[in-house]
Amino acid sequence: MRNLLIFITKYNAFFLFIIFEVSALLIYIKYNSFQKATFINSSNTVTGNLFAKLSEFKGYLALKDYNDSLAHENARLRNQLKSSFYVDTVSKHKVNDTVYKQQYEYIVARVINNSINRSSNYLTINKGSKQGIAKGMGVICNLGLVGKVIIVSDHFSVIQSLLHKDSQFSAMLANNKEIGYIEWGDEFNPHKGVLKDVSNNAQPKIGEAVVTSGYSLFPEGIPIGKISNLHTKSGGYALNMEVTLAVDFSKLQYVDIVDNKFAKEQEGLEAQQKKDE
């Protein structure tokens, strides 16, 4: 306290100047309408800018909640797409009895670990068997195909991404429906894939979309990428095409796990067929 009094006494002239200066400004503004209006307008501008910055900062802090909400909304909308349903049609005596059954369901999850610069790349997500995820399920995002689930625990899952040396998925040209398979084209480039073994009658074009065929883990029509280069496989019996991938794997935050309700039935039937051969 004594030091404070000594400080005030030592600089009393400065403090008196500040007090008189502020008092003079207040009197000047209060009793002059023009200056008063100018001061109010200026203070409103400053206050408005401060509130705007504060609002932007609050919005930034709330981005995670917004992203979570949007991801769940995307999954809900995917579950309502016509491609998520299986059409069971019975035709007899010109009477059609059509019943739509849910074939695909989508489980939204957040990416908590990811790699893109190795020859074998994986993602880890924050959902597991407790949330209905099982090994072998396909994984997509809002932009297109991502990969498949290979390891599952109670609360987490590991995904083998398309950027993996062993990844292959059934794919087709969007325009003429010619079937092939997609794999990672260049382990040093996370944006390139290769569409292989397409019929040489396909006549693909640069820029043509490549999508899932519906023959594997995914419903038909999920984007994979666009053709960026054409070249023929040795022998001339099939075509290989370079594809620019639709998904930027370095920016993945949320994914949808595809639960094909008929997958086990199909696998069992195909296994039985192989057994009978």
Q: What is the DSSP string of 56-119?
A: HHHHHHTHHHHHHHHHHHHHHHHHHSGGGEEEEEEEETTEEEEEEEE-EEEEEEEEEEE--SSS
198/174 Cα distance (integer angstroms): 12
The 8-class DSSP code of residue 144 comes to S
| Whether 252 contacts 146, CB under 8 Å | yes
Domains of the chain: 2-61 (no CATH), 73-276 (2.40.10.340)
Taking residues 81-102, report their average pLDDT: 46
- Under the banding of pLDDT at 50, 70 and 90, the label for residue 38 is low
161: part of which helix (H) or strand (E)? Answer: strand 157-164
Using a CB cutoff of 8 Å and minimum separation of 24, what contacts does 212-217 make? 212/145, 212/169, 212/170, 212/171, 212/172, 213/170, 213/171, 213/172, 213/179, 214/170, 215/170, 215/179, 216/138, 216/169, 216/170, 217/136, 217/137, 217/138, 217/148, 217/169, 217/258, 217/260, 217/263
Q: What is the pTM of this model?
A: 0.65
Per-residue pLDDT tens for 62-71?
Answer: 566 656 666 6
Q: Which two tokens stand for residue 172?
A: 């087709």
| Whether 238 contacts 196, CB under 8 Å | yes
* Better-predicted residue by pLDDT, 164 or 261: 164
Most confident of 37-41, 76-80, 109-113: 109-113
Per-residue pLDDT tens for 64-90?
Answer: 665 666 666 666 666 655 555 544 443
Strand pairing of 169-173 and 209-212? antiparallel
* Better-predicted residue by pLDDT, 77 or 99: 77
Q: Which residues contact 89 (CB under 8 A, 6 or more apart)?
A: 96, 97, 98
Taking residues 96-124, report their average pLDDT: 81
